[in-house]
């Protein structure tokens, strides 16, 4: 109930103030680009996601490519479930832009991927890019950089997807199952319920907890990473997936932990991983970038398999 109310309130505020929140609108032919935003990147991160809406009031078109000065290349990506694992793949032929429709590039779906970024995007920055449509041609846009933990710049809650009532991503990822009070049990159970499939067992260890936050290492099918979890209403949900970024207190602070919690959980993690096999730690480190999974601040976007290399 409270959650719905908060969402409703957010939607009303959003509808009332769209131009104040997002002054940027970019046009080419019958195509209008609104609300381009990117997520702040963690120190050392090389890839970053970009999101926007394409409002096409003309005939069908196709977003075929993108470039940005800040990135060696920009790819068009899609996130999709594949054999029970959420994976990201490049769309070499671009993204179809249907006639007279709004196409959203958003966490958990189509997005722009900035590759080999030299200077990680910082919150508050603007990232210039050029999007090229097959028919309408090129258009220069500016992505506003929002918080590393996800969500649009200058907005505290939810983003535009709630306007379309599309919480499908959330629905599949967010469980309200009752959970054992012991996080050492509850967290592996939760992760396995979400990601384990018949041929692909998931191992979860170590799990370290500080207050309402936890970090869990995971490995599956030759891949791995670390997940940051948050306890809400007595249930743990994945806040985001990352690699070595979750080892650093400073990075954890950027993800919303207090200074104390960040320092304490980073220390616990270092202690817990001390005796682990180097191959396992290398798997954790192999997860590139940071991907939001659940949360009120942003829609579910997930890349459990790590960025394909
Ligand atoms: Cu991607």
- Contact by Cβ (8 Å): 243, 226: yes
**Cα 308 to middle of ligand 1, angstroms:** 9
How much is the pLDDT for 59? 96
Which tens digits make up the pLDDT trace of 114-170?
A: 999 999 999 999 999 999 999 999 999 999 999 887 766 653 333 333 222 222 333
**Cα 98 to middle of ligand 1, angstroms:** 22
Burial class of residue 16 in the structure, from the number of CB atoms within 10 Å of its CB (0-12 exposed, 13-18 middle, 19+ buried): exposed
In whole angstroms, what is the distance from residue 78 CA to residue 91 CA?
Answer: 7
How much is the pLDDT for 200? 79
How much is the pLDDT for 244? 85
Q: 2-169 belongs to which homologous superfamily? A: PCu(A)C copper chaperone (2.60.40.1890)
Percent of the chain at pLDDT exceeding 70 = 73
Which tens digits make up the pLDDT trace of 44-78?
A: 888 999 999 999 999 999 999 999 999 999 999 99
**Cα 111 to middle of ligand 1, angstroms:** 6
Binned at pLDDT 50, 70 and 90, residue 3 comes out as very low
More confident position, 222 or 288: 222
More confident position, 213 or 299: 213
**Cα 201 to middle of ligand 1, angstroms:** 24
More confident position, 47 or 304: 47
Neighbours of ion ligand 1 (CB under 5 A): 77, 88, 113
Which tens digits make up the pLDDT trace of 246-303?
A: 888 988 888 889 999 999 999 999 999 998 988 888 888 887 766 655 433 333 333 3
DSSP output for 259-303: HHHHHHHHHHHHHHHTTS-HHHHHHHHT--S-EE-S-SSS-----
| β-bridge mates for residue 53, sequence order | 34, 104
How much is the pLDDT for 163? 26
Given the DSSP bridges, would you call strands 48-56 and 31-39 parallel, antiparallel or unpaired? antiparallel
The residues spanned by each domain of the chain are 2-169, 175-292
Mean pLDDT of 95-99: 96
Given the DSSP bridges, would you call strands 137-146 and 31-39 parallel, antiparallel or unpaired? parallel
Mean pLDDT across the chain: 77
Mean pLDDT of 4-27: 47
């Amino acid at each position: 109930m409270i959650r719905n109310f908060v969402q409703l309130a957010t939607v009303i505020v959003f509808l009332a103030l769209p131009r104040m929140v997002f002054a940027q609108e970019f046009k080419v032919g019958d195509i209008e680009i609104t609300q381009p935003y990117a997520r702040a990147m963690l120190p050392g991160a090389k890839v970053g996601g970009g999101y926007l809406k394409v409002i096409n009031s003309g005939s069908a078109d196709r977003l075929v490519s993108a470039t940005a000065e800040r990135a060696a290349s920009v790819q068009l990506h899609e996130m999709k479930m594949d054999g029970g694992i959420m994976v990201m793949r490049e769309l070499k032929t671009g993204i179809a832009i249907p006639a007279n429709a709004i196409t959203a590039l958003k966490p958990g779906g189509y997005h722009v991927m900035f590759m080999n970024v030299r200077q990680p995007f910082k919150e508050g920055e603007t990232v210039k890019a050029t999007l090229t449509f097959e028919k309408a041609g090129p258009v220069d846009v500016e992505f506003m950089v929002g918080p590393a933990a996800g969500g649009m710049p200058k907005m505290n809650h939810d983003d535009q997807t709630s306007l379309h009532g599309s919480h499908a991503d959330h629905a599949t990822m967010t469980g309200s199952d009752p959970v054992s009070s012991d996080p050492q049990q509850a967290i592996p159970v939760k992760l396995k319920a979400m990601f384990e499939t018949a041929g692909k067992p998931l191992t979860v260890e170590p799990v370290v907890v500080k207050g309402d936050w936890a970090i869990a290492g995971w490995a599956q099918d030759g891949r791995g990473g670390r997940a940051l979890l948050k306890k809400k209403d007595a249930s743990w949900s994945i806040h985001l997936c990352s690699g070595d970024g979750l080892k650093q207190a400073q990075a954890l602070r950027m993800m919303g932990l207090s200074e104390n919690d960040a320092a304490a959980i980073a220390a616990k993690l270092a202690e817990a991983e001390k005796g682990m096999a180097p191959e396992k730690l290398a798997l954790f480190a192999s997860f590139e970038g940071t991907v939001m999974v659940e949360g009120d601040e942003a829609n579910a976007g997930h890349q459990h398999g790590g960025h394909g290399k």
